[in-house]
Amino acid sequence: MILYTFMLIPAVAGLLIYLVPKRQMLWLAFGLQASLLVLSAYNFVFIINNGPIEIVLGNFTKVAGISLRCDTLAAAMIMLASFIFMVCFLFGLLDKFMNNLFIFFFLVLQALVMTIFLSRDLFNLYVVTEVSTIVVSVLIMFKKDSRSLYDGMLYLITNIAAMTFFLFGLAFVYRIFGTLDMDLIGAKMHLVEDAGSLAVPFGFLMTGVGLKCAFLPLFSWLPNAHATPSAPSIVSVILSGLYVKCGIYMFIRIREMFLPALIADDLFLIIGIATGILGFMLAIGQKDIKMMLAYSTISQIGLILMGIASGGQTSYYGGVLHVLNHAVFKSLLFLFAGILISKYQTRDMTKIRGVFKSMPYVSIMAFAAMLGITGAPLFNGSISKYLIESNFKGSIAEYAVIFINLGTIIYFIKFSQIFRGGSPHGRVSVDIWKKAAVTIMGILCLLMGLTGTVVISNVFHYRVSLDFWGYVKNTAMFFASAAIGLLLYGRFFRKLEIINKGFSLELGVNGIGISMTLFFIFMTSAAYVIARV
């Protein structure tokens, strides 16, 4: 029954709150989030101690029915979702946009996200993802101005097109295996005599998932969706901090499903490196604070993909840990950006100065997120990046991780200019609930850095221990990268006109459609070659 609770309670509560038009219902929604967080923590501990929970809807067999399965990874993602949604409600308790209609869509999205993490049936996964795409589009377009309508429709069209590729893929899979249950398909995968026959379904499924994850070259929709000017900041938090992780989660599951027959990790490693590098290059060129954070998400997805596709257990779990870490520090950064935009009435970083003097406490919490994402010692990003890099010693991939992190440091050096100088507004008041939200996230950036290896060892039953001298080397590399980043930014990047004016890469619907087609052809061809080798 506990699995049904995660899927049904948020949606039912959202409907009840919509039907009772009272401002006090927002407190009920926050109380619901706190309860779901406690329940998800209980579920998490139960799964660790007793193993996965699995049910099949309607008492059908797994071959014909829709199965739900909660293992340690799914339980961790459900707890992460409960936590991020709770922090968002805490942050927005006093905001006017948190009306009953917005809360309804927000809670429905939460129920859909939970269902994605529990689904083991490909068609159910397709349906739930499509419905969540519509809900996300509504939240992006919530303020109904021309920009948000454009961004929302671009997101809707491109994501529906991507999931059409996914639908074709699952149809091919059903034709081959006679079931859509991922566990059953994975168990039968080794029986496939001609692995080349899997190339087409693999290409279709990975094209749909690749756009959801924003892999290169399928990422240009993401900045507009995550940084749309009209959407409330907590929508950006959910999209960049959590919802994009649904794509990563789907990638992990589908990769596992095909692994016995198609091992394409080297291919995804190359895609991860390219995604990480291009993401930070585009982030450096942004003036808009939210656009910079959105492109930063693309870069971090590249790192996550590198870890998952590394071929080594330590780097794999480093990638999984970076999923959790990114959700924390990127959510905090978007919350901080929301406060800045509200107080300074601009998104242009060149027009925001003196933030530390105007909001010292909130600035300190933002520093924790910046230290986390740049991999500073003791903060959460340092542990996950260290683990990701561990299986790449002496290879090009190791230098790619260092290079991507250098890029991350450079665009946060640019970002940090907002803290300098005097404040034209004097001290700025930030309500207690927003301070509470950023405080929780800031503390977690440090706490997860101190306990990262403990989390991996106890949750996933894979013993990870930090090599003292290896970590010292990584610490030295961080400070060397910081020094190089300061030098490059001061002597080179800040003087470039294109960096100061800002630029972006927006393909539009036609461009994204062409990139999806090319990506499908590339993935299918590569899978066929891999199967024949």
For 93, counting Cβ atoms within 10 Å of its Cβ (0-12 exposed, 13-18 middle, 19+ buried), the class is middle
Q: What one-character DSSP code corresponds to residue 288?
A: B
For 138, counting Cβ atoms within 10 Å of its Cβ (0-12 exposed, 13-18 middle, 19+ buried), the class is middle
Q: Can you tell me which residue has the tokens 């295996």? A: 177
Mark which of 90, 120, 150 sits at the end of a domain: 120
Mark which of 87, 120, 153 sits at the end of a domain: 120
Residue 127 lies in a domain: no
93 and 234 part of one domain: no
473 and 518 part of one domain: no
Q: What angle do CA 216, 448, 299 make, to 5 degrees?
A: 15
87 and 206 part of one domain: no
Domain span including residue 37: 1-120
Query: Is the CB of residue 77 less than 8 Å from the CB of residue 117?
Result: yes
DSSP, collapsed to helix, strand or coil, labels residue 348 as: strand
Question: Is the C-alpha dihedral spanning 175, 179, 184, 186 positive or negative?
Answer: positive
Q: What's the distance, CA 403 to chain centroid?
A: 21
Q: What's the distance, CA 356 to chain centroid?
A: 28
Residue 337 lies in a domain: yes
Q: Which of 276, 271, 268, 330 is nearest to 301 (CA)?
A: 276
186 and 289 part of one domain: no
Q: How far apart are CA 224 and CA 150, in angstroms?
A: 9
189 and 206 part of one domain: yes
55 and 174 part of one domain: no
Secondary structure of the chain: what % helix, strand, coil (to 5)? Answer: 75, 0, 20
Q: How far apart are CA 471 and CA 387, in angstroms?
A: 10
Q: How far apart are CA 270 and CA 281, in angstroms?
A: 17
345 and 430 part of one domain: yes
Question: What is the structure's pLDDT at 532?
Answer: 67
Residue 226 lies in a domain: yes
String of DSSP letters for 19-73: HS--TTHHHHHHHHHHHHHHHHHHHHHHHHHH--EEEEGGG--TTTS-EEEE-HH
Residue 63 lies in a domain: yes
460 and 347 part of one domain: yes
106 and 193 part of one domain: no
Residue 272 lies in a domain: no
Q: How far apart are CA 311 and CA 306, in angstroms?
A: 9
73 and 183 part of one domain: no
Residue 270 lies in a domain: no
Mark which of 120, 152, 172 sits at the end of a domain: 120
Question: What is the structure's pLDDT at 16?
Answer: 82
Residue 274 lies in a domain: no
Residue 29 lies in a domain: yes
Distances (CA, A) of 467 to 248, 304, 311, 395, 419: 28, 21, 20, 19, 35
Question: What is the structure's pLDDT at 262?
Answer: 85
Query: Is the CB of residue 290 less than 8 Å from the CB of residue 358?
Result: no
Burial state string for 445-471 with b = 16 or more CB within 10 A and e = fewer than 16: beebbeebbebbeebbeeebeeeeeee
Whole-number CA gyration radius for the chain: 22
Number of independent structural domains in the chain: 3
Per-residue pLDDT of the chain (533 residues; tens, 9 = 90+): 678 888 888 888 888 887 776 666 777 778 888 889 999 999 998 998 888 888 887 676 766 678 888 889 999 999 999 999 999 988 887 777 778 888 888 899 999 999 999 998 899 999 999 999 999 988 888 777 667 788 788 888 888 999 999 999 999 999 998 888 888 998 888 888 888 889 999 999 999 999 999 888 888 888 887 777 777 888 889 998 899 999 999 999 999 999 888 888 889 999 999 999 998 888 888 888 988 899 999 999 999 999 999 888 889 999 999 999 999 999 999 999 988 888 888 888 888 888 888 888 999 999 999 999 998 998 888 888 989 988 888 889 889 999 999 999 998 898 888 888 776 666 778 888 989 999 999 999 999 888 878 878 877 777 777 777 777 888 898 899 999 988 988 887 776 666 666 666 677 778 888 888 999 999 999 888 887 66
212 and 309 part of one domain: no
379 and 468 part of one domain: yes
